[in-house]
Amino acid sequence: MSPVNEIRDDEILADIQAGAMDTELMEKYNLSAKELRSSFQRLTDSGRLEVSEICHSPVFWDETIDCESRRGYPRLLLAFVQRIHEEECPEKQGLVIDVTEKGMQVKGIAGTLGEVRTFQVVPRRFTGVAAFRFTAECVWNCTDPTDAQPLLGLRVAEISAEDKGRLRAFIRFITLGK
């Protein structure tokens, strides 16, 4: 192992043990999902990290991560229905299908490429997470072939520090259940 990887792995190990999430590690160390997974693998192979310490990590278990992946953050699929609505027009509701700190896939709300709108997510009560809002750009759109519902790919364009904390808490709930 190169000295650079060894030093970075030491720092990553300390952050994991302090409770850092995959997305926080990727952002702090400027890593792709594949690079973070490699670091996890080196740490578990060397016996310095137990699999039980990262069993909640989507990056560790995602066999689909490859070198060609353009996704910078691991996609977190929701195990429960989560509603989202446009802030200006609450009756325009959709469902969050997957989420990262940088964006999400939404079903049931139509949009056009490049369009920027403000959305609000009101997490279900059992999550213990407060509502959060963000401004997002539509980066892709299509129609779900199974039920003809619109699908949107949203990239977070603007989010306050407080709302980013709530988004992270929501992601933490999805991945860790707390």
According to the model, what pLDDT value does residue 71 have?
A: 46
SS3 2: coil
**Residues 34, 65: contact at Cβ < 8 Å?**
yes
According to the model, what pLDDT value does residue 164 have?
A: 93
According to the model, what pLDDT value does residue 70 have?
A: 42
According to the model, what pLDDT value does residue 27 have?
A: 80
CA dist., res. 67 & res. 69, Å (int):
6
Separation in Å, CA 173 to CA 9, 40, 120, 123, 168: 25, 21, 18, 10, 8
According to the model, what pLDDT value does residue 93 have?
A: 93
**Residues 88, 56: contact at Cβ < 8 Å?**
no
According to the model, what pLDDT value does residue 65 have?
A: 43
Residue 125 CA from chain centroid, whole number: 20
- CATH class of the region 76-176: mainly beta
Mean pLDDT per 10-residue segment, the chain (178 residues): 72 86 81 83 87 63 44 53 87 87 90 94 83 93 83 92 92 69
